[in-house]
Amino acid sequence: MEILHILEVELYGVSGILPGAMEFATAYEAYRPGPTLTTFVFPEGVELESALADLAARALVFQHIYTFKFRWAELLDYPGFGFGLPCLYDVLFGEQVNLKALRKREMALDYASGRLVFAARIRDAIAPFIAGAHWRELESAAGQAFALEVQATLRDPLLILQPFEVTENALCPGTYSLVYDGRAVISERDIETLRRCGLCYADRMTVNGVTLPRHPMPLLASGRLMHALHPFLKGRAKAEFSALLTASHPLAQAADTTINNVGGR
């Protein structure tokens, strides 16, 4: 597993580029992924530590986000992943697949019904690794398609190490949505739950010592399921599938590096 560090840096203020921002951007130009102006991506190592020290010295505000890259073989035994299907409108009209809305995708979440929709070949690849879920065949003009109903939920909340924003949902009072730095910790007993079920929902999160009900509930997948799915992900944004951490992982223990630089939070 390779750990990548994304630094989202505030380089501009109301009156233009901030003091020290141009110098930082010039020094680390090689770490900008394409045309984006304020995003820098670093592997582990000396350059990352140098950039963090430079940001602190220049008092530039930033967010530090973690993402993870895996080789195919590594997926098989990894504890779990967030399973972020594209959420699309009008994928289903009753039991009929709306191919125009699906836009040639083979996996999607229908916004209105909350149902998970898979093409037949995806269903065939991942079904052996899912227990206690229900598949229902759908009507489709372009080959077989199936809806999947997942019933399993984790027993423990996910531990969120560095939230950036926690917002109560206006349409679902008492539940919360979340923006965080990519580090979510799954309990040891829920690693076993996820391995057994293959797909589970996480209905709660612990943030700053407080456990909150989460909405929408994230869907989580076992490493074995992701290993089976991986051949179908070529050309897709892998960021939709984020790795969970165990409590023993070094990043689950690491001191936060952003708290003094994110708007004083």
Q: pTM of the entire structure? A: 0.88
Count Cα neighbours of 136 within 13 Å in the Cβ-side half-sphere: 14
To which residue do tokens 């949505």 refer? 177
Contact 85, 122 (CB under 8 A): no
Find all residues with CB under 8 Å of 180, minimum gap 6, and list them. Answer: 160, 161, 162, 163, 164
Contact 216, 83 (CB under 8 A): no
Q: Cα–chain-centroid distance for residue 256? A: 19
Q: Phi and psi dihedrals of 225, rounded to 5? A: -65, -45
Mean pLDDT of 221-248: 84
Q: 242 pLDDT exceeds 70?
A: yes
Beta bridge partners of 13: 16
Count other C-beta atoms under 10 Å from residue 238's C-beta: 12
> Model confidence at 92, in pLDDT bands (50, 70, 90)?
very high
Query: How does pLDDT run across 197-218, given as a tens digit for each residue?
Result: 999 999 999 999 999 999 889 9
> Model confidence at 255, in pLDDT bands (50, 70, 90)?
low
Per-residue 3-state assignment (H helix, E strand, C coil) for the chain: CEEEEEEEECCEECCEECCCHHHHHHHCHHHCCCCCCCEEEEECCHHHHHHHHHHHHHCCCEEEEEEEECCHHHHCCCCCEECCCCEECCCEECCEECHHHHCCCCEEEECCCCCEEEEHHHHHHHHHHCCCEEEEEEECCCCCEEEEEECCECCCCEEECCEEEEEECCCCCCCEEEEECCCEECCHHHHHHHHHHCEEECCEEEECCEEEEECCCCEEECHHHHHHHHHHCCCCCHHHCCECECCCCHHHHCCCCCCCCCCCC
Contact 201, 158 (CB under 8 A): no
Contact 171, 111 (CB under 8 A): no
Which of 217, 212, 111 lies closest to 166 in space, CA to CA?
212
Domain ranges of the chain: 2-69, 73-85+152-253, 87-150
| Cα 239 to Cα 229: distance, rounded to the nearest angstrom | 15
Query: How does pLDDT run across 125-177, given as a tens digit for each residue?
Result: 999 999 999 999 999 988 899 999 999 999 999 999 999 999 999 988 999 99
Written as six digits, the tokens of 183 are 């580090």
Count Cα neighbours of 161 within 13 Å in the Cβ-side half-sphere: 23
Query: How does pLDDT run across 37-88, given as a tens digit for each residue?
Result: 899 999 999 999 999 999 999 999 999 999 999 999 999 999 999 998 889 9
